[in-house]
């Protein structure tokens, strides 16, 4: 079975490496090396942005989480799309006109402070690494599923491939490749979803009826590779091979009571059609909510589902603005108007993509609800084709899904690693291509090692946390920096440090399991609900208290961000009709008296 999938993964990986090798010849200047050439058509650019954005969480994580925990997990896909709408409404055009490459560049260009630049760079590293971890985990479980290799093999493979590729070729050279990655991912999830949907036919499934526990739609043998605890909602007749409730069975019929059971590793339990699906104790949907509840309950052990849902909504809606690897791609737009059109097309492309994980998740719930029992919920999408469509067609679809998943890990982690390595080499070490290469390898190695520690967290959860940190640090910086003249470097610094820091602390405490229930679990598991308002509030209040530090050139900077291209013609106009205008440098110097609020 794995041959087709292995071939497909190897093909996608080799393709990426070859393009990276080609990038060496294409890249000529450091500028080319760091950011692909500018002035790309909106449709192409939008596909490239989407290609880089759709990561392991979108490809595998959301569908898995929906199967395991319910429809509330769809808030992630809604939020990942809405993030681009918010980006369009608040920052797209002004940011493009400003012309900075990275968030630290934006911070220092708008507010002029080296300390702020280094804080922003440190945060780019934190967000980048947080976002890299789930990609590594995705690779680990994908190879685990395809080849049966241990988890670390897949994570290490992705780390090595991506780091070396970046170190050799820069940002995978070309917009076109990332555009191709989008269409590859769309096909790799869309074709299996549609084929399986047609194959499933139109049978109303009892598993989609609200407030009903899942039942097996056909006779099914559940393999439990690891020791698993589960409960049954009703008594059920089953055929058991292996260890169950401290007794060893050899293909014997057993009546399982509606209570808790413990199965040993390697146990196989056969259920008849119509039997209730066991509810895994490890991955149970929260006790109080049914599968079709619109609330999101993961990480918070079911406590306060409404607050947890709003935590995810805030994090994902406002997090996209602050993602370091997405912003870099934004500067390939020729002007602000094109940036807006590009972003709208991104919303369209993401909306189209996210229809398919939903379809797959619903199919899995309706036809094979036991899938999450026998493996990590993140591999549901990988396992589904062969379960629903036995034989060669299912294997080919599974190979397609595996290849698409690997494309997702490769493209997203490449973009992230470029941002992380760029930030490390550019702001902390000495500049230059050689340093950049070593930084790429170092950053990839750190991410790979860290990925070994986070196997038990869901992909979607990890990516959601990266969004939460971005939303409570860089989002206020960008939004206030673009729209509010009175923002000061001290206010920005305070907001980033307090907002981002408290969000990070909350997440780390959740990972360590400090608060496992009640409000503590909600507020640390989905911290965006309080850290985003906190970051905005701190930034505004501290800025108002330090108005003497408003940069002297704020008027010119605002003009640059907001003046329409018809008046400024930043591009395309022959020299002579337009010229650079700079104010005399009454720069924010050491003397605070000079740098009064605006111009006198």
- Residues from 473 through 502 that contact other proteins (CB under 8 A): 483
DSSP per residue, 199-244: HH-S---GGGSTT---B-SS-EEEEESS-EEEE-SS-EEEEEEEEE
Q: What are phi and psi of 544, to 5 degrees?
A: -65, -30
Restricted to residues 399-438, the positions that interact with other proteins (CB under 8 A) are: none
Q: Which is nearer to other proteins, 260 or 599 (CB)?
A: 599
Tell me the closest approach of the beta carbon of residue 111 to other proteins, in angstroms: 10
Instruction: Choose, by CB under 8 A, the member of 129, 151, 216, 295 that binds other proteins.
Output: 295
Q: How many CB atoms lie within 10 A of CB 116?
A: 20
> What is the nearest approach in angstroms of other proteins to the Cβ of residue 555?
4
Residue 210 burial (C-beta neighbours within 10 Å; 0-12, 13-18, 19+): exposed
Closer of 228 and 293 to other proteins (Cβ): 293
Of 69-77, 391-399, 470-478, 486-494, the segment contacting other proteins by CB under 8 A is 69-77
| Subset of residues 360 to 389 that bind other proteins, contact rule: CB under 8 A | 362
In the set 355, 429, 516, 545, which binds other proteins (CB under 8 A)?
355
Least distance between other proteins and beta carbon 295 (Å): 6
55 φ, ψ (degrees, to nearest 5)? -110, -170
**Tokens 């999830």 sit at which residue?**
189
CA–CA dist 481, 500 (Å, integer): 17
Q: How far is the CB of 321 from other proteins (least distance, A)?
A: 12
Q: Is 537 helix (H, G, I), strand (E, B) or coil?
A: helix
- Residue carrying the six token digits 């299912």: 394
Residue whose C-alpha is closest to residue 256's, from 279, 274, 239, 280 = 239
Find all residues with CB under 8 Å of 157, minimum gap 6, and list them: 139, 143
What residue spans of 148-174 are helical by DSSP H? 151-169
Say how far apart CA 310 and CA 203 lie, in whole Å.
34
Query: Closest distance between other proteins and the C-beta of residue 419, in Å?
Result: 18
Looking up tokens 């549901």 gives: 380
Instruction: Determine which helix (DSSP H) or strand (DSSP E) holds 398, and give its type and residue range.
Output: helix 392-423
- Residue among 75 and 230 whose Cβ is closer to other proteins: 75
For 560-577, b/e burial (b = at least 16 CB within 10 A) is bbeeebeebeeeeeeeee
Closer CB to other proteins, 144 or 207, in the complex: 207
**Residue selected from 100, 410, 418, 423 as contacting other proteins according to rule CB under 8 A:** 100
Instruction: Output 136 or 359, the one with its CB closest to other proteins.
Output: 359
Question: How many angstroms separate the CA atoms of 598 and 245, rounded?
Answer: 75
Residue choice 54, 61, 80, 105 for contact with other proteins (CB under 8 A): 105
> Nearer to other proteins by C-beta: 163 or 553?
553
Return the range that interacts with other proteins (CB under 8 A); candidates 70-78, 155-163, 378-386, 441-449.
70-78
* 397 contacts 385 by C-beta, under 8 angstroms: yes
Which two three-digit tokens encode residue 207?
């598993």
Going residue by residue from 560 to 599, which x/- string records binding to other proteins, judged by CB under 8 A? x-xxx-xxxxx--xx--xxxxxxx--------------xx
Using CB under 8 A as the binding rule, the residues of this chain from 108 to 127 that contact other proteins are: 109-110
**337 near other proteins (CB under 8 A):** yes
- The residue (of 335 and 378) whose beta carbon lies closer to other proteins is 335
**Interaction with other proteins in 305-334: which residues (CB under 8 A)?**
306, 309-310, 313, 317
Which token pair is 238? 């089953």
Tokens read off for 24: 């060496």
Residue 65: strand, helix, or coil? helix
For residue 571, give Cα distances in angstroms to 27, 249, 490, 564: 22, 75, 34, 12
Q: Please pick, from the candidates 122, 200, 243, 340, the single residue that binds other proteins as defined by CB under 8 A.
A: 340
Q: Is 213 in the site for other proteins (CB under 8 A)?
A: no
With CB under 8 A as the contact rule, which of the stretches 8-16, 339-347, 416-424, 494-502 interacts with other proteins? 339-347
Stretch that binds other proteins, among 177-185, 352-360, 393-401, 403-411 (CB under 8 A): 352-360
Cβ proximity to other proteins: between 53 and 151 the closer is: 53
* Residues listed for the chain: 600
Q: Which residues pair with 256 in a beta bridge?
A: 236
User: By C-beta, is 52 or 105 nearer to other proteins?
Assistant: 105
Q: Which residue lies nearer to other proteins by CB, 22 or 569? A: 569
Q: Give the shortest CB-61-to-other proteins separation in angstroms.
A: 16
Task: Single out the segment in contact with other proteins by CB under 8 A; choices: 73-81, 119-127, 151-159, 242-250.
Answer: 73-81
Question: Which residue among 347, 371, 507, 538 contacts other proteins (CB under 8 A)?
Answer: 347
> Which residues 502-561 are close enough to bind other proteins by CB under 8 A?
553, 555-560
Instruction: Tell me how far apart the alpha carbons of residues 546 and 558 are, in angstroms, rounded to a whole number.
Output: 19
Q: What residues numbered 9-68 form the site for other proteins, per CB under 8 A? A: 28-29, 31
Query: What is the residue whose two structure tokens read 């709208």?
Result: 344
84/472 Cα distance (integer angstroms) = 16
Kindly determine how many residues on this chain lie close enough to bind other proteins according to the rule CB under 8 A: 75
Segment interacting with other proteins, rule: CB under 8 A, options 176-184, 205-213, 276-284, 392-400? 205-213
Output the smallest distance, CB 269 to other proteins, in A: 29
Closest CA to 403 of 11, 3, 58: 11
481 versus 495: smaller Cβ distance to other proteins: 481
Q: Map the footprint of other proteins across residues 79-98, applying CB under 8 A.
A: 81-82, 85-86, 88-90, 93, 98
* CA gap 415, 52 in Å, rounded: 7
Number of CB atoms found within 10 A of residue 24's CB? 12
* Residue 204 touching other proteins (CB under 8 A): yes
- Find the binder of other proteins among 223, 262, 292, 455 (CB under 8 A): 292
User: Which residue has 């290609």 as its token pair?
Assistant: 51
């Amino acid at each position: 079975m794995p041959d087709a999938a292995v071939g497909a993964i190897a093909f996608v990986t080799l393709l990426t490496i070859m393009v990276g090798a080609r990038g060496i010849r294409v890249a000529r200047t450091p500028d080319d090396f760091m950011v692909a050439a500018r002035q790309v058509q909106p449709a192409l650019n939008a596909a490239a942005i989407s290609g880089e954005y759709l990561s392991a969480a979108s490809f595998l994580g959301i569908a898995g989480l929906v199967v395991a925990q319910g429809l509330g997990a769809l808030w992630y896909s809604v939020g990942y799309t809405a993030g681009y709408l918010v980006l369009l409404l608040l920052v797209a055009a002004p940011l493009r006109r400003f012309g900075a490459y990275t968030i630290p560049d934006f911070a220092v260009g708008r507010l002029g402070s080296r300390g702020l630049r280094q804080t922003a760079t440190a945060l780019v590293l934190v967000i980048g690494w947080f976002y890299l971890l789930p990609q590594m985990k995705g690779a680990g479980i994908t190879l685990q599923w395809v080849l049966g290799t241990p988890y670390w093999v897949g994570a290490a493979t992705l780390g090595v491939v991506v780091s070396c590729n970046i170190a050799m070729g820069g940002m995978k050279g070309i917009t076109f490749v990332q555009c191709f990655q989008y269409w590859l991912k769309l096909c790799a999830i869309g074709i299996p979803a549609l084929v399986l949907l047609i194959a499933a036919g139109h049978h109303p499934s009892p598993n989609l009826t609200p407030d009903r526990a899942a039942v097996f739609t056909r006779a099914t043998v559940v393999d439990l590779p690891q020791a698993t605890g589960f409960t049954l909602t009703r008594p059920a007749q089953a055929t058991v091979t292996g260890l169950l409730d401290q007794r060893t069975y050899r293909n014997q019929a057993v009546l399982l009571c509606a209570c808790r059971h413990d199965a040993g590793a390697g146990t196989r339990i056969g259920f008849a059609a119509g039997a209730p699906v066991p509810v895994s104790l490890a991955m149970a949907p929260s006790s109080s909510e049914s599968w079709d509840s619109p609330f999101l309950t993961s990480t918070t052990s079911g406590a306060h589902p409404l607050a947890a849902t709003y935590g995810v909504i805030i994090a994902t809606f406002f997090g996209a603005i602050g993602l370091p690897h997405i912003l870099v791609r934004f500067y390939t737009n020729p002007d602000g108007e094109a940036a807006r059109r590009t972003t709208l097309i991104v919303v369209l492309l993401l909306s189209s993509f996210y229809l398919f994980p939903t379809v797959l998740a619903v199919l899995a719930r309706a036809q094979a609800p036991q899938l999450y029992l026998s493996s990590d919920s993140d591999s549901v999408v990988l396992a589904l084709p062969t379960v629903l469509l036995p034989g060669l067609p299912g294997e080919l679809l599974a190979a397609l899904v595996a290849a698409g998943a690997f494309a997702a890990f490769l493209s997203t982690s490449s973009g992230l690693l470029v941002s992380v390595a760029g930030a490390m080499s550019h702001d902390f070490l000495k500049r230059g291509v050689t340093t950049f290469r070593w930084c790429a390898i170092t950053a990839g190695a750190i991410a790979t090692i860290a990925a070994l520690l986070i196997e038990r967290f869901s992909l979607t959860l990890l990516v959601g946390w990266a969004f939460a940190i971005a939303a409570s640090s860089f989002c206020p910086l960008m939004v206030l920096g673009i729209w509010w003249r009175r923002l000061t470097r001290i206010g920005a610094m305070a907001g980033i440090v307090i907002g981002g820091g408290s969000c990070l602390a909350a997440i780390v405490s959740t990972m360590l399991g400090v608060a496992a229930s009640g409000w503590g679990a909600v507020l640390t598991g989905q911290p965006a609900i309080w850290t985003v308002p906190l970051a905005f509030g701190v930034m505004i209040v501290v800025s108002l208290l330090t108005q003497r530090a408003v940069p002297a050139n704020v008027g010119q900077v605002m003009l640059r961000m907001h003046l329409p291209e018809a008046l400024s013609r930043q591009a395309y106009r022959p020299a002579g009709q337009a010229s650079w205008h700079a104010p005399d440098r009454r720069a924010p110097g050491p003397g605070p008296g000079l740098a009064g609020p605006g111009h006198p």
